[in-house]
Chains A and B, each alone.
Chain A
């Protein structure tokens, strides 16, 4: 496999980076990088770290990173994850920063401990922390419950002062959304499977409305909705497809949530290099963070209406002859 760290790859312009990922020869990983400057979304780091976990360390080759921003990768723990000695020294008086370095979470109790111990390091006020911990908890639990990956979830996050945004990347190398959702549904393509996974009330664990005792099929809809209400990017990439929720029009005062993610302003690509597992990236603009409880009113309205309509569509009709 070959992966190139480009000059820039954030959720708005990440498509060329995904397209450039070469997934041939899955037992080897070769990492190259832009020589001058690299500025990338944490989801890129989570992706590389997740690949690194699957491969024997001796089969990972990383070209010497010369870009001036190379310290960022050291600080985020990328080289440690890959088992590569970087020889990059971090200047000690550099501020600790507001970031979550690459972290592997393999079980439920480690997730709870992570949320309790690590989220406070982002130094957010409670109103801002609420959606962040919500997103991380739900996304990582999805990985633990549905991905069947022995490596669990790989996540990282970074606060960007200029845009006052937290960017989060959570990646796994498990069975992917299509296999997971098709345990109970019949999605013909990866993109259709992503669509179902984002639809409220749809879970891979059952076809039954209301879900199982453990799953309702609501988590991803909630998260996509948080991004939509805040006018932020959200991406899901699994198999050969990516769904990207695009930023909404901030001038619009009323926000409507849709059960069908294809009705949201979005882009999609079904011809990406195959990713075995699932990649989720999200930005949360802290300027725009709405009161979480107000957002829940919108969710309630859309969720119940959707389930009701879906049930009605399955009603048996009398045959009048």
Chain B
């Protein structure tokens, strides 16, 4: 299981989609491709934008299928971040 800490790269407000994309490609996908589980640790990140979370996980859901959520764990999420992750995972399950 790989633990990815977001705060050192995003700060307390995760909004930079370029950073989200980098985390997704360099850290998350490389683990998932090796069948490893991933923990996204939001400790000290108090909020995020929907765009950030979308850039972080939507393409993974699209490419690996929604079942991939069994291999991704979201840790230390604030109430806001939990809800935004739920919105993104909900609408990605309604995607084309």
A residues with a Cβ closer than 8 A to B are 108-109, 111-112, 115-116, 126, 130, 133-134, 137-138, 141, 201, 208-211, 213-216, 218-219, 222, 292-293, 296-297, 299-300, 303-304, 307-308, 311
Contact = CB atoms under 8 A, between A and B. Distances in A.
A304 B90 CA distance: 7
B18 A293 contact: no
A27 B19 CA distance: 39
Interface string B41-58: 000001101110011001
Contacts of A137: 13, 15, 49, 51
Binding site of B, secondary structure by majority: helix, strand, loop or mixed? helix
Given A222-B50, A296-B83, A133 B91 contact: no
B70 interface: no
Given A293-B83, A297-B83, A303-B90, A210 B16 contact: no
A209 B91 CA distance: 8
Given A210-B62, A210-B91, 10 more contacts: A112-B16, A126-B46, A209-B94, A209-B95, A213-B59, A216-B54, A216-B88, A222-B50, A304-B90, A307-B94
A138 B51 CA distance: 8
Contacts of B87: 218, 296, 299-300, 303-304
Interface of B: 11, 13, 15-18, 21, 46-47, 49-51, 54-55, 58-59, 62, 79-80, 83-84, 86-88, 90-92, 94-96
A213 B16 CA distance: 14
A141 B15 CA distance: 9
21 contacts: A108-B16, A115-B13, A130-B47, A201-B91, A210-B96, A211-B54, A211-B58, A213-B21, A214-B55, A216-B51, A218-B91, A219-B51, A222-B50, A293-B83, A296-B84, A296-B87, A303-B87, A304-B87, A304-B90, A304-B94, A308-B94
Contacts of A219: 49-51
B36 to A, nearest CB: 21
A201 to B, nearest CB: 7
Given A211-B54, A300-B90, A115 B21 contact: no
Contacts of B11: 112, 116
Residue among A111, A222, A293, A311 having the largest count of chain B Cβ atoms under 10 Å:
A293
A213 B55 contact: yes
Nearest to B81: A293
B49 A138 contact: yes
A109 B10 CA distance: 11
A69 to B, nearest CB: 34
